[in-house]
Amino acid sequence: MGPLVTPERLREFFAPRSLAVVGASDTSGWAQFIAASSAATGFTGPLIPVHPRHATVFGRPAVRSLRDLAEPAELAFVMVPTQAVEDVIDDAAAAGVRNAVVLASGYREAGPEGYARQDRLVARAAAHGIVLLGPNCLGFINTHAAAGPFALSVPLPLLSGPVGIALQSGALATAVLAFARSRAIGVSTLVTMGNESMITTADVLDYLVEDEQTRVICLFLEEISQPDRFARAAGEAARAGKPIVALKTGSSPAGQVAALAHTGSVAGDDAMVDAALRQFGVIRVTSIEELLCTAGLLGYDRLPAGRRMGVLTASGGACGIIADRTRGDRAAPASVRRRAQPARRNRLRPGQPARQRADRDRSCAGRRDGRSRTRLRAVLRRDHPGRAPAR
């Protein structure tokens, strides 16, 4: 988009201190979500409803138009019907509002007419110097800046942390946040990209690379629309020591059709995408669980460096699974390569009282716990015979 969208401008965009919600009403589910997500992030700035027919919304005084604001809001969340969006952008320009999130659909994903409509919207916003996220977008969350203009539910409590997330999907964001919370993985900034009419995935990558609160970057991708810029941003992330973990859809014909219908994305040949991601140094995963768990390991320094992984398990079957996942016997930990020892089984002798059996079980459990602690200490010892030297 040129000089209008820069990491510096995005730092302003993703940390608004005042928010105008255009089209808000007491019956709007979108507006209710934005009020709740703002509360979840601890947003304390002015949240101003804008509606031509309501004097108050959620008990807050409303204004009829952005032009009626006493002072410019730092961000406008635009949730009016598609045909009214361009007029709101004109109002934003007149009011001195520089940044906007556009919820409405019916743009690039809607075919040739939608493409033309999106081009007109972008041209009008750019002419006014306004940066847009969307359209067809549910907004973002910035936990460290306490900003939450996000039009879906936020699983509580919302955890701040080192994981920055950009999603070429909106509704998936709640599932991502819920899984992150269940694994105690904190989020720095989460952005739903929508149709990427102005702010693109590469732009958000640039922003997250420079963001001091972000240590690892998660991407949910339907397409890589700017491969050259994406490659440069991935290179900057590598130089900054910020790994990128990506879940890329469209590996099947059905997935490619779904991506096209969702945001108008062209998924591309999966083998080429896979090779490109490897070349860019991006870690590709195949599920939300892998995406967040990998990010959690990297973001919290939980990943062992070099061949220094030890596994303690009571299951011989688990040893086989772990050995397979470490891709061969040479890469497997020494303790995995050891043959599993059969566990002793406690049997109830005829006539043995149940209480005595329970006492014996507790005694055996204590011995087992002691053996487990001994083995764990052996794995952790630097002089463990199966441990490779640190690199």
Neighbour tally for 72: CB within 10 Å:
16
pTM score of the predicted model: 0.78
Bridge partners for 150 per DSSP: 139
Same domain, 110 and 42: yes
Same domain, 290 and 325: no
Choose the final residue of a domain: 255, 271, 299: 299
Rounded CA separation 334/363 (Å):
30
Same domain, 338 and 283: no
For the chain, what percentages of helix, strand and coil (3-state, to nearest 5) are there?
45, 15, 40
DSSP string over 106-161: -SGGG-HHHHHHHHHHHHHHHHHT-EEE-SS--BEEETTTTB--BSS---SSPPEE
Is 307 inside any structural domain?
A: no
Q: Are 236 and 209 in contact (CB under 8 A)?
A: yes
For CA atoms 16, 18, 21, 24, the dihedral sign is: positive
Choose the final residue of a domain: 267, 299, 331: 299
pLDDT exceeds 90 at position 212: yes
Is 193 inside any structural domain?
A: yes
* Number of independent structural domains in the chain: 2
Same domain, 123 and 235: yes
Same domain, 98 and 29: yes
Of the two residues 307 and 256, the one the predictor is more confident about is 307
Q: Are 110 and 83 in contact (CB under 8 A)?
A: no
pLDDT at 252: 57
Same domain, 187 and 329: no
Same domain, 333 and 202: no
Mean predicted lDDT score pLDDT of the chain: 85
Average pLDDT over residues 77-98: 98
Rounded CA separation 209/236 (Å):
7
Q: Are 88 and 121 in contact (CB under 8 A)?
A: no
194: domain range?
Answer: 2-299
Is 332 inside any structural domain?
A: yes
Q: Judging by DSSP bridges, how do beta strands 140-142 and 187-192 pair with one another?
A: antiparallel
Rounded CA separation 335/311 (Å):
6
Is 362 inside any structural domain?
A: yes
Same domain, 164 and 200: yes
Same domain, 230 and 95: yes
pLDDT at 365: 56
Helix axes 270-280, 227-239, angle to 10 degrees: 30
Rounded CA separation 272/78 (Å):
37
Same domain, 85 and 127: yes
Residue 131, phi then psi, degrees to nearest 5: -95, 130
H or E, element range at 283: strand 283-285
Bridge partners for 216 per DSSP: 163
Average pLDDT over residues 191-203: 97
- Model confidence at 261, in pLDDT bands (50, 70, 90)? low
Rounded CA separation 130/374 (Å):
63
Neighbour order of strands in the sheet with 283-285: 140-142, 187-192, 160-167, 216-221, 244-248, 283-285
Eight-class DSSP state of 83:
G
Rounded CA separation 137/383 (Å):
55
Choose the final residue of a domain: 235, 270, 299: 299
Q: What is the CATH number of the domain that holds 177?
A: 3.40.50.261
Is 390 inside any structural domain?
A: no
Rounded CA separation 186/112 (Å):
40
Is 304 inside any structural domain?
A: no
pLDDT at 179: 97
Same domain, 254 and 323: no
Is 309 inside any structural domain?
A: no
pLDDT in tens, 105-129: 999 999 999 999 999 999 999 999 9
pLDDT at 380: 72
Same domain, 295 and 329: no
Neighbour order of strands in the sheet with 47-50: 47-50, 19-22, 75-78, 99-102, 131-133
Is 267 inside any structural domain?
A: yes
* CA 385 to the chain's CA centroid: 40
pLDDT in tens, 90-99: 999 999 999 9
Average pLDDT over residues 232-243: 96
Eight-class DSSP state of 63:
B
